[in-house]
Chain A
Amino acid sequence: GENVEQHPSTLSVQEGDSAVIKCTYSDSASNYFPWYKQELGKGPQLIIDIRSNVGEKKDQRIAVTLNKTAKHFSLHITETQPEDSAVYFCAAKSTYATPLVFGKGTRLSVIA
């Protein structure tokens, strides 16, 4: 089955700097790659996703890139703000009938 590795497990950046979180997956059939943000005491919330027919997707300060050949995808947050501090999870899935497989999460701290 699918296996998703996520790095780093913790990340501290200065406010205004960029943050990058990387994930690798094992199943070449995976075709959907979402990123979730989890704030303290809340459930994860989708912030951006990408499908395997595109290489990059942007939404304001957030972007995701996908390299199908290398089987890795990354989350890029520019101009970080204190409210970006949270735990971020990547995930992957293949066929429509299979659940998401999550990475173990990255705790991002943005220092003002």
Chain B
Amino acid sequence: NAGVTQTPKFRVLKTGQSMTLLCAQDMNHEYMYWYRQDPGMGLRLIHYSVGEGTTAKGEVPDGYNVSRLKKQNFLLGLESAAPSQTSVYFCASSPSGFTRTDTQYFGPGTRLTVL
């Protein structure tokens, strides 16, 4: 099993450009999450999904959109990138919340720079 994978690993954008970050998991997990990590700020939740076709807002959703068309994939979109979105983005997944298994498994991260 590859676990949680993220594409791309690095990206540089100009202000106003758009891009999509792809997260894929092969563990048949129901829940998937997108976080951003900034120095001194820890991990902040952007959006999450509790199942295929569902999405919900997290702590810092503004400027981002997500889609979960397939159970194994969770896409994070930036429609018009801003320098404030320069960050490291992590995807995570976890089994169904209705079991007593809450462990979240993280991907390796995507380092995004917006100039």
Residues on A lying within 8 angstroms of B by beta carbon are: 6, 9, 32, 34, 36, 41-46, 49, 89, 93, 95-105
Residues on B lying within 8 angstroms of A by beta carbon are: 4, 31, 33, 40-45, 48, 50, 58, 90, 92, 96-99, 102-109
Measured between beta carbons, the chain A residues less than 8 angstroms from B106 are 36, 43-45
**Whole-angstrom distance between the alpha carbons of A97 and B97 in the complex?**
5
**Whole-angstrom distance between the alpha carbons of A95 and B58 in the complex?**
16
* B40 near A43: Cβ-Cβ < 8 Å: no
* B103 near A34: Cβ-Cβ < 8 Å: yes
* A99 near B103: Cβ-Cβ < 8 Å: no
Given contacts A93-B102, A100-B104, A103-B42, 8 further A-B contacts (CB under 8 A): A41-B109, A43-B106, A43-B107, A43-B109, A45-B106, A95-B97, A97-B98, A101-B45
* 16 A-B pairs (CB sep. < 8 Å): A34-B104, A36-B106, A43-B92, A43-B106, A43-B107, A44-B43, A44-B90, A45-B106, A89-B43, A93-B102, A95-B97, A96-B99, A97-B97, A99-B48, A103-B42, A104-B41
Measured between beta carbons, the chain A residues less than 8 angstroms from B48 are 99
**Whole-angstrom distance between the alpha carbons of A97 and B105 in the complex?**
16
Report if A102-B109 is in contact (Cβ < 8 Å); known contacts: A34-B103, A46-B103, A46-B104.
no
**Whole-angstrom distance between the alpha carbons of A95 and B97 in the complex?**
8
Which residue, of A36, A98, A99, has the highest number of chain B Cβ atoms within 10 A?
A99
Closest Cβ–Cβ distance, residue B47 to chain A (whole Å): 10
Measured between beta carbons, the chain B residues less than 8 angstroms from A89 are 42-43
* B108 near A43: Cβ-Cβ < 8 Å: yes
Measured between beta carbons, the chain B residues less than 8 angstroms from A6 are 42
